[in-house]
Amino acid sequence: METRQGIATKEALDLQSVDQDLVQKMVYDALVWSSLHGLVVGDRSVQRSGKVPGVGLVHAPFALLPVSFPESHFREACELAPIFNELVDRVSLDGKFLQESLSRTKKVDPFTSRLLDIHSKMLELNKKEDIRLGLHRSDYMLDEQTKSLLQIEVNTISSSFSGLSCLVSELHRSLLIHYGERLGLDSKKVPGNSAVIQFAEAMAKAWTEYNNARALVLVVVQSEEHNIGGQVIAVVYFRAGYAPTDYPSESEWRARLLMEQSSAVKCPSISYHLAGTKKIQQELAKPNVLERFLDNKEDIAKVRKCFAGLWSLDDSENVSKAIENPELYVMKPQREGGGNNIYGEDVKETLLRLKKDGTDEDAAYILMQRIFPSVSLTFLMRDGICHKDHAISELGIYGAYLRIKEKVIMNEQSGYLMRTKVASSNEGGVAAGFAVLDSLYLT
Amino acid sequence: METRQGIATKEALDLQSVDQDLVQKMVYDALVWSSLHGLVVGDRSVQRSGKVPGVGLVHAPFALLPVSFPESHFREACELAPIFNELVDRVSLDGKFLQESLSRTKKVDPFTSRLLDIHSKMLELNKKEDIRLGLHRSDYMLDEQTKSLLQIEVNTISSSFSGLSCLVSELHRSLLIHYGERLGLDSKKVPGNSAVIQFAEAMAKAWTEYNNARALVLVVVQSEEHNIGGQVIAVVYFRAGYAPTDYPSESEWRARLLMEQSSAVKCPSISYHLAGTKKIQQELAKPNVLERFLDNKEDIAKVRKCFAGLWSLDDSENVSKAIENPELYVMKPQREGGGNNIYGEDVKETLLRLKKDGTDEDAAYILMQRIFPSVSLTFLMRDGICHKDHAISELGIYGAYLRIKEKVIMNEQSGYLMRTKVASSNEGGVAAGFAVLDSLYLT
């Protein structure tokens, strides 16, 4: 999730005008609703929380009211979901493209290098994935100045918050059913969200297609031990495995390789995983690359329209521009999860240092146009406390894809995730403590 | 809730034989289920818990699996619900009976005395409650030796756990859907439980009958401030008001009187409240008293059958018996909530002291036959920890009643509550930390 301070725009609701008593009532109701409906997470300040389920719970951080979002842009993002599902699938089949595009990244990023090694082994074995399951989330921001929907990234592994995002949409609908009249808001303008059900259905369908009634679904998670000796696995879902810390020793890499070699449906396969890297995102934005993977001209135009400016660091023209105007760029390393991006003056300094060093380290980064979303006043709820601040939002659209050889079983948009964060903070996700879960109010 | 150690009986499930790995899986799933479905309570060990909603949450204490219970006795208890609803209503209309029965209690119990004062004022004003709403819970234990269902008490005020009890039934059904085959248990044998919905419906109906679209429902709770100046109240629900500590000053008593004088539907009215006292329970058990309130002979027989032995302390014959065999009796003061009953040798000592003193203090107690329910091995879950112990259970049956003058709008059994506690502990409720929430498995 990335951000920056922008310009406040006209909202469906003027929060400044909302009566303080009404806010207090909504805060109270929203917190009670959270407890009753499972909109809860582990509270890190409580011992044993996260280690034992059911203890040390606190409401998930959320925005008290949904953020205004133009309906046309929401539809645009939804329509892109099946196209990106297809694009990821097509890219995943082009092993040469993946290996070549990531060849320089491989030299400087040991983690990507390990993933590419597994991918190479599969290419050598000529391993085919007949059943391919993708549970993706494509993230967007609405650029304030150009009024265009621009993609931040595609997540092809461990696309998170499909469960909690549905609950926040329900919470907002419930609050607007009760208080909408007094706020001048209509609960029906919060779009329905069934991400978690659609993802579960896709997984169930993949299991069904595997066609072994005794086979299991294996969920790979962080810090857990699972003994599955002798069992047949139909589907492997990677809730973990996207970060170097998920592989503390060689045994995790051996397990990943073993799973990739197996006949189980991997969500994601190593190819899907690699297709979701930032380097591939940047490569796809180059002229005539989308055309290699998509046939439909309209689809290509739609996808290209949502691409922000994306450049490799060997693009000297844009590197120079970024050194001149670093505030208009973000530098992104090939890393999942928040907290790794480089903003502002640091962009300039890093680019100048890399230029001077003249090593391959520049291949670890891509350069991206910085997006300036609109800023709106928001009530952010965390630890039972309501905090009013200027905030910006990022929309994620979930997509579910299931294919057996030439037959597409499922290719759909599957709900959404809205995350909102204080505008003055540069970046950070919900789990990292910077953002809150949100939903949208169509305008 | 009252108890004692009994004799272990044959269960639908032999817990000793359950595989430890399976227990661990069920424990994990049950704790996750609790977090996701709102089976949570405030964790007293966490600061701000209970003060701010949504923070400091922990799963409610629960039994991992439902307790075996004979279907015939469950049906018997369910059938009693509408009869007790009707009985409470009839008793509430007999102001003289309430005042006379409680006249000696009044002298020694300042709390009951204050309630009776309010009741007297209403009698003087000839105040009629046209709309009468009762949300009761009648509690039973199954006597092991006689195999009879015996009533512990009727709650006519703040009948608790209607919400959490439904969730525990759902949790148990969900666990049996997943693990029932391996346990040899059928999820359909856990009766459906919609207590919270039925109570909410009864309250909504009372509000509808009050027939003022702008009128509110007032919920009286502990340690909360509510400003409702100038509003019309249709229904007053007392979640608090049953304990002396709920009236820390004269202003709470003035508020209670004001509410009683108002035209709002009180749940309960002062008459309903008094009709639920232990002294009235004991008076109703006297020969020919039920006949004053109920017409149907079959109903009378059913109610009488569930009455345990109940005596006033001026019954010298039974007082002598209790001194001889104190382990067969319980002494109960006129107090709601657990922790006030007298058991075992203390019964003997207290009775001898009261005899010697010769004061009116004996009027503060009733004497009751001690019930010996069957003991079974149970997995009790608290604070994320599973504890295996011998336990006994108490079944509560909710009843909802709504009447407008001569017209009975609603008179139904409304779900159930099963509470289970370690057999070696004498008494105590779920909130007091002795018991866990449970459901039942019909045998």
- Cα B100 to chain centroid distance, Å, stands at 25
Residue of chain B minimizing CA distance to A38:
B36
Closest residue to A55, CB basis, from B52, B55, B383: B383
- The residues that bridge with A41 in the sheet, in sequence order, are A58
Pairing of strands A131-143, A148-155: antiparallel
May I ask the CATH architecture of the domain A309-370?
2-Layer Sandwich (3.30)
Pairing of strands B342-343, B329-333: antiparallel
Contact A31 B53 (CB under 8 A): yes
Note the pLDDT tens digit of each residue in B344-372.
999 999 999 999 998 999 999 999 999 99
CA distance linking residue B401 with residue A43, whole number of Å: 42
Closest CA of chain A from B299, distance in Å? 39
Structure confidence at residue A337 (pLDDT): 58
Other C-beta atoms within 10 Å of A356: how many?
Answer: 8
Reported as type and span, the H/E element at residue B419 is strand B407-422
Measuring CA to CA, how many Å separate A191 from each of A68, A74, A415? 12, 10, 9
Is A278 designated active site?
yes
Note the pLDDT tens digit of each residue in B159-175.
999 999 999 999 999 99
Q: Are B158 and B176 in contact (CB under 8 A)?
A: no
Closest CA of chain A from B408, distance in Å? 31
Note the pLDDT tens digit of each residue in A240-299.
999 999 999 999 999 999 999 999 999 999 999 999 999 999 999 999 999 999 999 999
Note the pLDDT tens digit of each residue in A305-326.
999 999 999 999 999 999 999 9
Pull the structure tokens for residue B265: 């539907």
**Is the alpha carbon torsion for A52, A56, A59, A61 positive or negative?**
negative
Say if residue A7's pLDDT is above 50: no
**Given the structure tokens 């009707």, which residue do they identify?**
B86
Say if residue A427's pLDDT is above 60: no
CA distance linking residue B408 with residue A288, whole number of Å: 77
Which residues in chain A have Cβ-Cβ distances shorter than 8 Å to B383? 55
Residue A384 near chain B (CB below 8 Å) = yes
Residue B37 near chain A (CB below 8 Å) = yes
CA distance linking residue A343 with residue A325, whole number of Å: 11
**CATH 3.30.1490.50 in chain A, residue ranges:** 309-370
The chain-wide mean pLDDT, for chain A, equals 92
The string of DSSP letters for A270-334 reads HHHHHHTSHHHHHHHTSTTTHHHH---HHHHHHHHHTPPPEEETT-HHHHHHHHH-GGGEEEEES
Produce one character per residue of B253-276: b if its CB has 16 or more CB atoms within 10 Å, e if not.
eeebbebbeeebbbbbbbbbbbbb
Pull the structure tokens for residue A364: 């670890």
Q: Are A91 and A284 in contact (CB under 8 A)?
A: yes
With both helix axes pointing from N to C terminus, report the angle between B195-210 and B162-183 in degrees, rounded to the nearest 10. Answer: 150
**Is the alpha carbon torsion for B329, B333, B339, B342 positive or negative?**
negative
Pull the structure tokens for residue A206: 């993949």
Q: Considering chain A, what percentage of its residues have pLDDT values greater than 90? A: 84
Ranges of residues in chain B whose predicted pLDDT is under 70 = 1-11, 223-230, 336-339, 425-433
Is A336 designated active site?
yes
CA distance linking residue B36 with residue A54, whole number of Å: 9
